[in-house]
Structure 1
Amino acid sequence: MDDNLNATYITLAGFVELHKYRYLYFLVMFTVYILIICCNSVIICLIVIHRNLHEPMYIFIAALLLNSVLYSTNIYPKLSVDFLSEKQIITYPLCLFQAFIYYSLAGSEFLLLAAMSYDRYVSISKPLQHPTIMRKTTVIILLVLAWTVPACEVAACIVLYTDIKLCNFTLKGIFCNNSIYSLQCVRSVVVSVFGVFMLLNMALFPLLFILFTYTRILIISYRSSKTVRRKAAQTCLPHLLVLINLSCLFTFDISVVRLEADIPRIAHLIISIQMISYHPLFNPIIYGLKMKEISKHLKKLLAQVKSH
């Protein structure tokens, strides 16, 4: 690739044996993408259609699943093109845009889970005041903040990246994420400090808030009746499973580049594919199976489909 092309394009070098398995890769990832869109969309539609699901908890779940659809759409179409292309390249501005969407939605997911944990805490600790505290206006404000705050912070970081001189034009990954940090000629102190600020603000602080609220819920449930304990377990367990899954993937994503871990390319590819497929599929399955009201409507829908 000549210098002129290098000045504009970034090579995605995380693919393994692509010349042998490109059609297999494409078929598998295209199937996963369709499953992600269908599974998440079904749960979202059930929440929209049924009035008894128009509660804060289910609205936050719908927002979380919408995040999964947007997250996947940011990656899969470009990935599918790369599988079938001779050269796996992307322009630097588009690479920055993909990273912007990727981290904006990741930050939104942590904040949405924090909003859900607060809703569960109010519901269990103050059940009579819950409708007053979690009004429609409050839910809308929390949703707007969950989507706009990460977007603004990540946008500011991306602006800093636009002025950085590049000396490396090859990414080890299969899409643009934290790995763009390795393209810099000189590691920018400003970008590093702002990256830590974003990590604290979008992931660590929401995570600590979630752990605090669920600890409080656990204490309240332990002191209460079996009915309260059962309600807490039914509504909180799916959120905790999603949180643990998201935290593990996000930890890998941040640490693998920042710590410059020497991971074999095949292992890096496998983990990257898990990051973009496992989590978006995990969310609708967990909420569809573990949330009682959603599961009930889902079973009715499947029964109607079978009868036809």
Structure 2
Amino acid sequence: MMNSTKYAYFILSPYFDVGLFKYLWFMIIMSLYVVIVGSNVLLIVVICMNRSLHEPMYLFLCSLFVNELFGSTWLFPFLLVQILSDIHTVSAPLCFLQIFFVYIYASIEFTNLAVMSYDRYLAICYPLQYNTLMTQKKTALLIALTWLYPFIAIPVLLSLTASLQLCGNIINKVYCNNYYVVKLACYDTTVNNVYGLTYTTTIICVFILIVYSYLRILRVCFSGSKQTRQKAVSTCTPHLASLLNFSFGCFFEIIQSRFDMKNVPIIVRISLSLYWLTCPPLFNPVLYGLNLTKIRIMCISLVLGSL
């Protein structure tokens, strides 16, 4: 059982006093949040309202945008409160709730990108059989699995962390993170490490699926006709950009967690720790809205029609 009587809260140490500049930071973060919510909601509405977009690729995109709203909603309001606050603490229950949300968001994001790569693999490598291979039932099942698996796996991870006896309550992060809480444990964390390794193995398997899908797509591009190559490039470019964007953010997060970053300026550390939670929700609507013709045309029509 967690030593909640001794550590009823955690201290988030990276925050620093910026004086009146905190109001500038507040406006910047608020503006980013408004843009993220507005752009993702717009694309969700466009996909849901237009039956011509009720195809697997667009439904997977809709799932991605919903997850980005989900991830942003737990992060940005908390950041806004912390920026204006003079005491940067978070209660233990809220801390574990944050851990739950961040891992759910990251898991769904990565799995959703894997499902999208699989969908593009079928569409490009088996175009004649695509409608048979990717049915509406299969699409719904893949979306359901994308969302259900994290909601089963993450609570187990969280319960193992919550049961640890902690010898400190200072987290070197601007939000709560499971790895940093486990580092505060007084005793053996073998069970946590084994479960974490098991969960990481599933993520690696998902990554292998993504790599395999795009290798097959590249093979078809090099051996196929010009029309096939153009189709592959037009549909896969935003997917690859989105995947690389999220992967870079995860890489920065891993580097910060595993290595000593004390010599790196604190503003750089904070920016890198927020990259994977802010950039995908910010840039993905732009990537897909500009590159996918159907979405772009219908977004423009919806915006102009509302004026």
TM-score (norm 2): 0.92
Q: Which residue of 2 aligns with 1:226?
A: 226
Q: Tell me, yes or no, if the aligned pair for 1:33 and 1:72 is still in contact at 8 Å.
A: yes
**Which shifted more, 289-298 or 234-243?**
289-298
Q: Tell me, yes or no, if the aligned pair for 2:39 and 2:285 is still in contact at 8 Å.
A: yes
Q: Which residue of 1 aligns with 2:202?
A: 201
Q: Distance between the aligned counterparts of 1:193 and 1:260, measured in 2?
A: 23
Q: Distance between the aligned counterparts of 1:291 and 1:59, measured in 2?
A: 13
What letter corresponds to residue 33 of structure 1 in structure 2? Y
Q: 1:5 to 1:82 in 2, by over 3 A?
A: farther
% same residue = 32
What letter corresponds to residue 277 of structure 2 in structure 1? I
Q: Which residue of 2 aligns with 1:256?
A: 256
Q: Distance between the aligned counterparts of 1:70 and 1:19, measured in 2?
A: 31
Q: Tell me, yes or no, if the aligned pair for 2:248 and 2:276 is still in contact at 8 Å.
A: no
Q: Which residue of 2 aligns with 1:295?
A: 296
Q: Which residue of 2 aligns with 1:149?
A: 149
Q: Tell me, yes or no, if the aligned pair for 2:245 and 2:279 is still in contact at 8 Å.
A: no
Deviation of the 1:16 alpha carbon: 2.7
Q: Which residue of 1 aligns with 2:60?
A: 60
For residues 26-69 of structure 1, the C-alpha deviation after alignment (integer angstroms, 9 at most, x for no partner) is 11111111110001111111111111111000100111111111
Q: Secondary structure at the residue paired with 2:183?
A: helix
Q: 1:187 to 1:23 in 2, by over 3 A?
A: farther
What letter corresponds to residue 199 of structure 1 in structure 2? T
Q: 1:30 to 1:172 in 2, by over 3 A?
A: same
Q: Which residue of 1 aligns with 2:182?
A: 181
Q: Which residue of 2 aligns with 1:38?
A: 38
Q: Which residue of 1 aligns with 2:245?
A: 245
Q: Tell me, yes or no, if the aligned pair for 1:234 and 1:292 is still in contact at 8 Å.
A: no
**Which shifted more, 181-190 or 30-39?**
181-190
Q: Distance between the aligned counterparts of 1:189 and 1:252, measured in 2?
A: 25
Deviation of the 1:181 alpha carbon: 3.0
TM-score (norm 1): 0.92
Q: Which residue of 2 aligns with 1:190?
A: 191
Q: Tell me, yes or no, if the aligned pair for 1:60 and 1:112 is still in contact at 8 Å.
A: yes
Q: Tell me, yes or no, if the aligned pair for 1:105 and 1:147 is still in contact at 8 Å.
A: no
What letter corresponds to residue 290 of structure 1 in structure 2? N
Q: Secondary structure at the residue paired with 1:293?
A: helix
Deviation of the 1:102 alpha carbon: 0.7
Q: Tell me, yes or no, if the aligned pair for 1:65 and 1:284 is still in contact at 8 Å.
A: yes
Q: 1:233 to 1:212 in 2, by over 3 A?
A: same
Q: Which residue of 2 aligns with 1:21?
A: 21
Segments of structure 1 that go 5 or more residues without pairing to the other structure are: none
Q: Distance between the aligned counterparts of 1:182 and 1:24, measured in 2?
A: 33
